Chain A
Amino acid sequence: MKKYMLSFNMGIQNAIEYRFNFFLSLISIVFPIIIQTSIWIAAFNHSSEATLYGYNFTQMLLYTLLAALISRLVATGIEYEINEDIKNGGLNKYIIRPINYFMYKLSVFIGSKCLQYIVLSILIAIIVSGATFYTDEYELGVYKILVSVFILISSCILNFLISYIISAIAFWLTDVSYLFVVTTLLVNIVSGGVFPLEIFGNTVNRIFDFLPFKYTIYFPVNTLNGNLSGAAITSSLFIQWMWILVIYLLAKLVWRRAMTRYIAVGG
C-alpha cells in the first residue's frame, strides 16, 4: 500500500510544480461557458417556447456550467502518459517491479488530480447552491446531494476506465498521440460535455442509451440540474455501475492481451 501512497504523493508534487498551468487551464474553461451561455440566452430570448430540448432556462444554464466543470472533473489525459510509457519502454519498469501498473497509474493520477478535485468540487457546490438561492424552481435536498456526490465519484471511475481501455490502442498502433486528441474530443461530445445530448435527435439518442459515455457527464449533470426524476436517477445509477463493472472486466481482458503481445514483441 505504501508504494501507492508514494505514487500518489508524486502525483501531487507534479501538480504543484505546474500549478501555473492548472489555474490557467481553469480560466480556459470559462470561455466556452461564456460562448454557450450567450447562445442559450439568445435562443431562449428569441424562442416562444419555455423549454428547449426539454430543458427550461435555468436547467440549460446549469447544464452548460456543470457540463464544462464535470468534463474537467472526469478528464484524465492518461492516454498520453501510457502511450509514452509504451513507446519509451517505460512500461518495462513496471513489468519487472512488484507494482501493479493499473494501481500505479491510478495512484499517480488521483494524486495529480487532488487539487483539481478540490477546486472543481467547490466550484460545483457554489453553482448548485447559487441556483438554489436564486430561483424557486430549483431545489436540492441533503439526500440528493449525497446521491450526486456518489454519482460524481462513479463518473470519475467510469471515465478513468474508459480512458484506460482506449489507451491500450497504443499497443497496436504506433504514433497515436494525435489519435488520442480525436478520441478525447469525441468521447467528450458523446458524453454530453459540449451540448446536451438531445441536440442529436431521438434516433441517435437511442444509440447513446446503449453506450457507457452518457453516464460520465450527461447523467451527473442532469442529476444536479434537476432534469432527472428520482426514479430515473436510481435506474441510471444502476446502469452506470453496470458499465463500471463491464468496462473494468473488459479493460482487464484487453490489457492482459496487450501485455502478452508487448512482452512477445520485446517492447
Chain B
Amino acid sequence: MSLAQTLKRYIRLYALFIKNSVIAQMEYRTNFITGLLVETAYLFAKCLYVIVVYQTDLHIGSIGPDQILMFIGTYTFLTGIYWGLFGINFIKLPEHIRNGTLELLMTKPISLQFLVTLRHVDMGLALPNIIGGITMIVISWNKVNLDVNFYTVGGFIFFIIIGVIITYFLFLIPQILSFWFVKTSAIDDVSNSLWDFNNMPMTLYPKWAHFIGMYLIPIFIITNFGPLFLYDELKVSDVFWAAGVPFILISSMRLMWNKGLRNYSSASS
C-alpha cells in the first residue's frame, strides 16, 4: 500500500472515530455535561491567574497584562485540544493494560498506537477550553493592536500546530510507563502540573527553568512560541529548534512504546 493510500485510510478511520465518539456522547449526555462542568471549573481556576495578572498589573520584562493574556489564551486553547483529543485516550492506556483490553487491540491489523491513543474524542472536555482560549486570544490580539494578516495569523497557527504535535508525543511518553508500573495516577499528576507551567510566559521563570523547558522537556515550545512569534521575540535558531523537536520526540516515543510493548508481551501471562 502506498503512503498516500495508507494516509487516506487512517484519515478515514479517524473520521470514523470522531463520528462514533460523538454518537456515543450524544447517547450519554450526562457524561458530556459532567465533562463540560469539569473543564469549566478548570477554566475558572485559570481565570484566577488572569485576575491576579491584571490586578497586580504584572509586567514581565516588556510584556504587560494584555500580552500575557495571549499566553494564557493559547495555553487554554491547547489544553482543550490536549484533553479533548489526546488526554482522554492517554489516561485510558493504564486501564487497557491492567484489564487486558489492550490484548484485543493488539490483534488488529492497524497501528496499535493509533488505535489506542486516538480512538476517543471528548467534546465536553474540549469545548470550554477551546472557546475560552480563543476568546482570550482574540481579546489580547485586539488590545495589543496586532495586525491581522497572512504572516501573523499563518505564523501563529504554524506554532500552534507544532505545539499540538509536541503535546501529543510529550504527554504520551509518561503514560507509556504504565507498561512497567501498576498505579500511575501520580505520573498523571506530575505531567499535568508540568503542563501548567505553560500558562505564563517562560520569561517569568529563572534562566535554568528556561533551559529545561526549552531543551530537556520542551514544554515551553507548546504555548510560548506562538505569542512570542507575534511579539517578534523569537530567534531564527528557536524556530529551527521548534521545527526539529517533534522529530526527536516521535523517535523517542516510538522507542519507548516498542520497549513497553515488548516488556508487556514478555512479562505478563
Contact = CB atoms under 8 A, between A and B. Distances in A.
The answer to whether A and B touch in the complex, with CB atoms under 8 Å apart, is: yes
A153 interface: no
A32 interface: yes
Interface in B173-203: 181, 183-187, 189-190, 192-194, 196-197, 199-200
B197 A21 contact: no
Interface in B43-63: 44-45, 48-49, 51-53, 55-60
A186 B47 CA distance: 13
A46 B45 contact: no
A195 B51 CA distance: 10
Contacts of A189: 44-45, 48
B31 interface: yes
B58 A28 contact: no
B186 A46 contact: no
B41 interface: yes
Given A24-B187, A24-B189, A185-B45, A31 B196 contact: yes
B209 interface: yes
B215 interface: no
B87 to A, nearest CB: 13
Chain A interface size band reads 35 or more
Nearest to B203: A42
Nearest to B59: A46
A262 interface: no
Interface centre among B30, B42, B194 (most CB of A within 10 A): B30
Nearest to A49: B56
B186 A28 contact: yes
Given A47-B57, A181-B38, A185-B42, A38 B205 contact: yes
Interface string A176-212: 1011011001100100001100010000000000000
Contacts of A18: 183
Given A21-B186, A42-B204, A199 B55 contact: yes
A52 interface: yes
Nearest to B35: A178
Interface string A14-57: 00001011111101111110110011001100110000100000
A47 B209 CA distance: 24
Contact of B192 (A22, A28, A175, A199): A28
Given A21-B183, A42-B204, A47-B57, A199 B190 contact: no
A22 B186 CA distance: 7
B51 A199 contact: yes
A6 B59 CA distance: 55
Given A175-B34, A182-B41, A34 B209 contact: yes
A142 B130 CA distance: 51
A34 B198 CA distance: 12
Contacts of A185: 41-42, 45
Interface residues of B, number: 40
B37 interface: yes
Contact of A186 (B41, B51, B187): B41
A47 B56 contact: yes
Given A189-B44, A195-B52, A28 B193 contact: yes
Contacts of B209: 34
A31 B212 CA distance: 13
Nearest to B56: A43
A24 B193 CA distance: 11
B48 A194 contact: yes
Interface centre among A18, A23, A42, A175 (most CB of B within 10 A): A42
B186 A42 contact: no
B9 to A, nearest CB: 34
A180 B185 CA distance: 16
A126 B258 CA distance: 44
Contacts of A35: 196-197, 199-200, 204
A42 B59 contact: yes
Contacts of B206: 38
Interface string B55-75: 111111000000000000000
Contact of B200 (A21, A28, A39, A186): A39
Contact of A24 (B55, B186, B205): B186
Nearest to B28: A175
Nearest to B124: A178
Interface of A: 18, 20-25, 27-32, 34-35, 38-39, 42-43, 46-47, 52, 174-176, 178-179, 181-182, 185-186, 189, 194-195, 199
Closest 3 CB pairs of A and B: A24-B186, A31-B193, A21-B186
17 contacts: A25-B189, A28-B190, A30-B193, A31-B197, A34-B205, A35-B196, A38-B204, A39-B58, A39-B200, A46-B58, A174-B30, A175-B31, A179-B37, A182-B34, A185-B45, A194-B48, A199-B52
